Structure 1
Amino acid sequence: MLRIGRLLLLLLASLPYGFLLKNHEDDDLSLATPQPVGGTPAQKVSGCPSNCTCPAEETVDCGGLDLHVFPGNLSAGIQHLSLQNNQLRELPYNELSRLSRLRTLNLHNNHITSEGLPDEAFESLQSLQYIYLANNKLTVAPQFLPSTLRIVDLAANRLSHIYPLTFGQKPGLRSVYMHNNLVNNTGLPFDAFNGSDAVTTLIFSSNRLTYVPQNLPRAIFRLHLQNNHISRIPKGALSSQWRLRELYLQSNNLTNDGLDSSTFSRLKNLEYLDLSNNNLTQVPGGLPANIVILHLGRNHLNTLPSERLSRVRSLQYLLLQGNTLTATGVHPEAFSRLRSLHTLHLYNNRLERVPPGLPRRVRSLMLLHNQIAQIGLHDFAATYALVELNLSYNRLYSAHIHRLAFRKLKRLEILDLSGNQLTLVPAGLPSSLQVLNLQKNQLNSLSPELLVNLTVLKELHLAHNRLRISSISPGTWQELHGLKLLDLSYNELSYVPPDLPESLENLYLQHNRIVVIMAEAFLTTPNIQVITLRANRLLAANVSEAAFADLKWLEVVDTTGNPEPINISLLQARRWIPTQTGT
């Protein structure tokens, strides 16, 4: 699960502002972070307000000073003013009106209310390009904002109503941030963006919209509408947004009845579509061919017909986790035309076996948390490009895994079979494996022939099984020349297994039944760095200091939770964690 977490973090968290921006010619997102403008070291210039910093004559930074009152006597020539992270409740018109050359005004994270923001507050700021009013207490948007604006950030307020000239009639406007407010469709007028045709980024996530707004700017390429109450997309609502590349609609109330076959069909440049956590029962029709990432997780999909995904020829990531898919509901041709698909998430479904017709070029296949009870000879015969395969937390028994099931997986590096009912290590494991996870099974024996040829294996996870010293055959580790991490915790070992690999650096033996550490315990592991022995049955008299004497790379030894304190003098060890009785 940790690897899936890391993958999703890279895949879903970093992509919105990195992956899909790389080819955009005029993106102002880098300017949207509330911060003072100016790169020179802070210094005191003539006329700089008390306690503020002024890197240059045109830049004033009064952020984080606990100010309750707008600073007076500001130079009329300043261009960049930062007042974020203060206690301001209102903006005095007479002070603002003097700042006619102001380009950046940062008021992020104050207590400004709509009553404290007069309608004419910004009418004199005819050079203003960037305004940040996020994290305040506004209930209605400013009625008039200058036509010169490029970025408007009103996120995290209490806004329920937008005026036509809040965002409209601004030919240079590029980015609008309105997430975490209370706007519904009634509070967003039809002409809200008239005359602002250059808007490329529109963030309205976490509001109260019930349908996708119509008459949106045609230039949009990033549209975030997640975490609303959207149940439908009106016909034609997205028909003019042919430049759209990134569309977030997750965590809404969308059903298939709220879509039609033309909803997405004109979005020829769409690369990222997130429809996860909705109420869809089928893959939407009419998906454009250029989608690279399609997220349909946490819906109610129970079938994958042959034609629904066939048009999406550029698809690389398909996320279908958390649905009700069965193997019989997956058509053998469902993935047949997805020749670029390399990541497929099918975990947390109801698959009773490996689904047929898996994509031939898939490299990462997540099938964990299903009901798969067997792996047949041909289940992975066509997925020769697999690098990571996760079958954890299914219903697999050793007798139901064909001995040649993995024969074609010559590139497989990570195999996770944890959380099943295996009593033996599966036969025929690929020699390319680098990580093998078999924890939380019923393994009761280890033998050399089942780990043969795993010469590049780096991590072997065997925690939470039923292994005893007598069940580990001599020579079990002899082929594991590259093994660096061995996890044997939560088993039934009575002493450290002999003849461990010389390459080993991390050895986890906690929560076993180890009663003795003999002098030769780590004789074959001179490169060991971490040894955990906590919560065993060790007594000080049964622990030989000689066992650790020649381990010059040893950094951590953990013996906490044993019956009595164990104090070993380790000059080489950087960190010794002694036993604490009763822990």
Structure 2
Amino acid sequence: MPWSLPLLLLLGSPLSLGMEDPDFPHLGESSQPPPRACPWRCSCPRADTVDCAGLDLQLFPHNITRAAQHLSLQNNRLQELPYNELSRLRDLRTLNLHNNLLSSEGLPDEAFESLTELQHIYVANNKLSVAPQFLPRSVRVVDLAANQVMEIFPLTFGEKPALRSVYLHNNQLANAGLPPDAFRGSEAVATLSLSSNRLRYLPPSLPPSLERLHLQNNLISKVPRGALSRQTHLRELYLQHNQLTDGGLDNTTFSKLHSLEYLDLSHNQLASVPTGLPRSLAILHLGRNRIRQVHGERLHGAAGLRYLLLQHNQLGTAGLPAGALRPLRRLHTLHLYGNGLARVPPMLPRRLRALVLPHNRVAVLGARDLAATPRLTELNLAYNLLASARVHRRAFRRLRALRSLDLAGNQLTQLPSGLPGSLHSLRLQRNQLRALEPEQLAGLAQLRELSLAHNRLRVGDIGPGAWHELQALQVLDLSHNELSFVPPDLPEALEELHLQGNRISHIGPEAFLTTPRLRALFLRANRLHLTSISAEAFLGLPHLRVVDTADNPEPVLVRLPPKATRAPRVGGS
């Protein structure tokens, strides 16, 4: 998350190094230069840094050199900062007090007055109830996250020309605790995090220089008119997990944000797509709202949109009228997971690459339902109501670029006809498949993963030569079917074979003759006994590394070939 950036930078900075005080008196050997002092138990290997982190300190360490520029005191038990000790460190540039027990009473207002070089201050995970009233003008990054802050003062962040990042998330700030001039004179602030507070409306007078604004997990029900009119540099706006309704936004709320690329309005109470969306917008997240219908005219301004997420709304049969998304000519991905759509929406943008429609009520797939999106590379129709009789034999004819097709959790009794030869992944688990014929898999020479788990397949239902054209298949999942033995003539390229949860009671010496590249074999929860597996079964599998035979009626004896004797065996004996 964006607010973790300062901590990451801090860990990579010189704060873990140390220094000593040249003024500290040296005992003995007066002819030698006096050694630099370092507080007890701290580390000071460098001349400008003192690292006292994670020492369970309860008192501010003495003997810190006045030349220190970087001081690390995080992960201790400090309850207060002595003014006299801190004020003499006039060259200090970085002060890390993260994860202590500091209260506002233990952090006096004058503590930072003399630190005129201070640039980075980290006081996250403490017990502050109010922000420091005065911070030096030199400060660039201030992290006060995860405290109990209820009030900010005008000069906490105001009149700070170098200030770039402010982190106030996970506090108790209400709108009354933020003065209207909180950022006056601070015209360089790019990142502001106010998430997980108690704000009820968007704070006014935010810095016009903002590029990232985090307001998620508040109580915001309204964005006052003009509240974002000056933020023309804003690129990311996070408003998810609030209480926004259509009445809390107007057609000018986002219209001035000419640089906005990411807008997250998920987990609110919106009944429609907001108006006035900027052309620069690339990602719009509207999941978990109450949207019943998408009106095309509201999307005309967002012609540059690439990702539209509408999962878990209330889109029904008429939720996406024909052509509603046509203005989005650059749309790459459309997420419609968990709605009530009965058909694939008609007239989708032609450049669409990913259509994600699981957990809807799609029961029919016609010959032309997908004709408008010939560039699709990913199609997810899992957990709908598709039956084989209602999937047209030419439904996938135009999808010549399709690489991933997910039809899991439907009511299919046979594989659909005319699957694209471009497929790399085909998921058909949790259907009602009873047969597998060679012509159904014909042309799938590029298929690498095939999941047929949780169906009703028996070995006799798999036609001879069914695997013949799957020369690239590496992962085959036949688990939880009704197989009584390992299917013959499996693809030579196979590396991972799932057969768990079947009825297999015997594995003969020729079971894996056609799969010399097999690396992982799963035989868990079958009907295998102590001597069910032939001693020669694995001799031609030099790459085999995992054999799972757990949860069978008896422990199963697994003999791996010599080259694989050091490989792990799961559930074998």
2:14 to 13, 35, 38: 38
What residue number does 2:143 align with? 153
Pairing of 1:278-289 with structure 2 (within 5 A): 278-289=268-279
Counterpart Cα distance in 1 of 2:179 and 2:170: 18
- Structure 1: distance between partners of 2:263 and 2:400: 33
Match of 1:575 in 2: 568
Distance 2:485 2:19 in 1: 66
For 1:448, the equivalent position in structure 2 comes to: 438
> Which among 255, 258, 276 is matched to residue 248 of structure 2?
258
Name the % identity.
Answer: 59
2:330 paired with 1:340 = yes
Which residue type is aligned with residue 570 of structure 2? I
1:493-529 superposed Cα distances (whole Å, 9 cap, x missing partner): 0000011011111100001000110111111111111
TM-score where L is the length of structure 1: 0.93
Cα displacement string for residues 444-491 of structure 1 (whole angstroms, at most 9, x for unaligned residues): 110001000100100000110100111111111011000000000000
Call closer, same or farther: CA 1:176–1:464 in 2, change over 3 Å: same
Aligned to 2:314: 324
Deviation sequence 1:519-564 (CA, Å, 0-9, x none): 1111111111111111101123332111111211111111111111
Aligned partner of 1:273 in structure 2 is 263
Q: CA deviation at 1:42?
A: 6.5
Distance 1:215 1:481 in 2: 63
Residue segments in structure 1 that go unaligned for 5+ positions in a row: 1-12, 18-27
Indicate the residue corresponding to 2:428 in structure 1: 438
What is the aligned counterpart of 1:494 among 484, 496, 500?
Answer: 484
Instruction: Name the SS for the 1:498 alignment partner.
Output: coil
TM-score, normalised via structure 2 length: 0.95
- Does residue 420 in structure 1 map to residue 410 in structure 2? yes
Aligned residues: 556
Rounded to whole Å, the distance in 1 between the matches of 2:301 and 2:317 is 22
The one-character-per-residue Cα deviations of 1:280-302 (angstroms, maximum 9, x if unpaired) are 00100111111011111110001
In the alignment, residue 572 of structure 1 is paired with which amino acid? K
SS at match of 2:263: strand
Secondary structure in 1 aligned to 2:84? helix
Aligned equivalents of 2:73 and 2:159: distance in 1? 27
Q: Is the 8 A contact 1:306 1:332 kept in 2?
A: no
Query: In 1, distance between residues paired with 2:51 and 2:345?
Result: 59
Deviations 1:430-457 (A, max 9, x none): 0000000000111111000100010010
Candidates 352, 355, 358, aligned match of 1:368: 358
Separation of aligned partners in 1, 2:334 and 2:75: 43
* Aligned with residue 115 of structure 1, among 96, 105, 119: 105
1:10 aligned partner: none
1:547 paired with 2:523, answer no
Shift in CA distance, 46/226, structure 1 to aligned 2, threshold 3 Å: same
Q: Secondary structure at the match of 1:94?
A: helix
Q: In the aligned structure 1, how far is the partner of 2:53 from the partner of 2:466?
A: 63
1:304 and 2:258 are equivalent in the alignment: no
Deviation at 1:33, TM superposition (A): 4.2
**Corresponding position of 1:21:** none
Paired residue secondary structure (1:450): helix
129, 132, 145: which one aligns with 1:139: 129
Unaligned runs of 5+ in 2: 21-34
Shift of 1:31: 7.2
Question: Aligned-pair distance for 1:38?
Answer: 2.0
Tell me the residue number matched to 1:169: 159
Q: Secondary structure at the match of 1:176?
A: strand
Partner SS, residue 328 of structure 1: coil
Is 1:378 the counterpart of 2:368? The answer is yes
Letter in 2 for 1:208: R
* CA deviation map 1:350-406 (0-9, x unaligned): 101111111211111100010111101111001111111100011110111000000
Of the three residues 43, 47, 57, the one matched with 1:53 is 43
Cα deviation, 1:263-283, whole Å, max 9, x if unaligned, reads 110111111111011000010
User: Does structure 1 retain, via aligned residues, the 8 Å contact 2:143–2:167?
Assistant: yes
Distance in 2 between the 1:568 and 1:42 partners? 57
How far off is 1:30 after superposition? Answer: 5.5
C-alpha deviation, 1:29, in angstroms: 5.1
How far has the Cα of 1:43 moved from its partner?
A: 7.9
CA distance in 2, matches of 1:578, 1:96: 61
Q: Does 1:222 align with 2:224?
A: no
Cα distance between partner residues in 2 of 1:61 and 1:430: 61
Deviations 1:84-106 (A, max 9, x none): 11111100001011111111111
1:576 deviates by 2.1
Matched, 1:457 2:447: yes
